[in-house]
Chains A and B, each alone.
Chain A
């Protein structure tokens, strides 16, 4: 999907940069090779980008203009929470109504990106500095500390020291309970590599509405 976007909007000066928050590049490889992207597809094994921008889940996105200025701070990249009630957890199938709702959200987001590509700074989706600043989620000391413990855990895991990694993983989760990325990256995975352990759904169910994918506050965005 991102490659199609990149192709479509590239001539209008928009570059898609995807960042895989994967500990192991080989986990990301099949998806990237399948997409055959012409855009930069980066691997962020230590979740550095999440730390810099204070992201908490995937997919989240930032819009940055030609001068390196953030014109839309971190937000959910066109996803909805319809899977919470629309997903059959046994079969993995999504109810048609939920699919339609997700599609509506995604299509609105993609149309906004197109509008930005075409109209640049005069796009109604480009936020002025005051609006943008109001939307920035600010990190606190606990969040910064969580990223440090997470990074230590990742370094230990890369060295085959999983036992030692358990404590910093736990510490990272404790300090940054709002980070789904930290939790999901370190959670038990099913054979397909997805963190769909029953524990994951329990955690999702316990989250408030908008606590997994915060709704995108965007002109024309359906609920």
Chain B
């Protein structure tokens, strides 16, 4: 089932980092991704209950399934709009960024549990903040500029 959309490989930047995802379909601002790529691409999983992450599931709006799911493809932009998450795309549709919901981010900060993250050192070795659990952490930013 193709619907006339060309399949392409798109670069997706989200919580899970930057990933190259094959089988993507671009229709204007709508990015359709194969369901099985969603965990890797954006950190969400398609289940019968809807699009899920941890305990939270966002159901596909009834009567509008077509705008969110077609065959094995899911319209990520539509889910992002639905859940008030920001997103952006390059002009050619080869690069997409999917961001966080402000309310969720604010609640996470108010919980005072430090959000985990993974970043590389100069040798490219990844470090997670949670790797250092059990130590007092002084996390400080700087820049060459």
Question: Which residue from chain A places its CB closest to the CB of B134 in the assembled complex?
Answer: A66
Contact status A70-B113, CB under 8 Å: yes
A145: interface (CB < 8 Å): yes
In the complex, which residues of chain A have a beta carbon less than 8 angstroms from the beta carbon of B143? 20-22, 28, 58, 181, 184-185
Query: In the assembly, what is the distance between CA of A129 and CA of B111, in Å?
Result: 9
Contact status A189-B145, CB under 8 Å: yes
- Of A10-18, A85-93, A95-103, A213-221, the one contacting chain B is A10-18
Contact status B102-A49, CB under 8 Å: no
Contact status A62-B114, CB under 8 Å: yes
B141: interface (CB < 8 Å): yes
Query: In the assembly, what is the distance between CA of A189 and CA of B144, in Å?
Result: 11
Contact status A148-B141, CB under 8 Å: no
In the complex, which residues of chain B have a beta carbon less than 8 angstroms from the beta carbon of A136? 109-110, 112
Minimum distance in angstroms from B105 CB to a CB of chain A: 5
Chain A positions 108 through 146: 1 when the CB is less than 8 Å from some CB of chain B, otherwise 0: 000001001100100000000100110010111101110
B120: interface (CB < 8 Å): yes
Assuming the A-B contacts A52-B117, A65-B136, are A145 and B86 also in contact, with contact meaning beta carbons closer than 8 angstroms in the complex? Answer: yes
Contact of B121 among A22, A40, A53, A70 (CB under 8 A): A40
Chain A positions 39 through 63: 1 when the CB is less than 8 Å from some CB of chain B, otherwise 0: 0111110101111111100111111
Contact status B117-A68, CB under 8 Å: no
In the complex, which residues of chain A have a beta carbon less than 8 angstroms from the beta carbon of B144? 20, 22, 27-28, 30-31, 193
B29: interface (CB < 8 Å): no
CB proximity to B under 8 Å, residues A185-211? 185, 187, 189, 193-195
B6: interface (CB < 8 Å): no
Assuming the A-B contacts A43-B119, A133-B110, are A16 and B145 also in contact, with contact meaning beta carbons closer than 8 angstroms in the complex? Answer: no
Minimum distance in angstroms from A148 CB to a CB of chain B: 4
Of the four ranges (under 10, 10 to 19, 20 to 34, 35 or more), the interface on chain B belongs to 35 or more
CB proximity to A under 8 Å, residues B64-120? 84-91, 95, 97-102, 105-106, 109-110, 112-117, 119-120
Query: In the assembly, what is the distance between CA of A32 and CA of B112, in Å?
Result: 30
In the complex, which residues of chain A have a beta carbon less than 8 angstroms from the beta carbon of B120? 25, 42-43
Question: Which residue from chain B places its CB closest to the CB of A158 in the assembled complex?
Answer: B18
Contact of B135 among A15, A54, A62 (CB under 8 A): A15
B56: interface (CB < 8 Å): no
Query: In the assembly, what is the distance between CA of A2 and CA of B139, in Å?
Result: 10
In the complex, which residues of chain A have a beta carbon less than 8 angstroms from the beta carbon of B134? 66
Query: In the assembly, what is the distance between CA of A184 and CA of B110, in Å?
Result: 28
Query: In the assembly, what is the distance between CA of A192 and CA of B129, in Å?
Result: 31
In the complex, which residues of chain A have a beta carbon less than 8 angstroms from the beta carbon of B135? 13-15, 66
Minimum distance in angstroms from B87 CB to a CB of chain A: 6
B137: interface (CB < 8 Å): yes
Query: In the assembly, what is the distance between CA of A138 and CA of B134, in Å?
Result: 27
- 19 extra A-B contacts, CB within 8 A, seeds A2-B140, A144-B99: A14-B137, A20-B143, A40-B132, A49-B141, A50-B141, A58-B143, A65-B137, A66-B133, A70-B112, A73-B112, A138-B106, A139-B102, A141-B102, A143-B102, A152-B13, A156-B95, A185-B145, A187-B145, A194-B145
The 4 closest A-B pairs by CB, nearest first: A145-B86, A148-B99, A61-B140, A42-B119
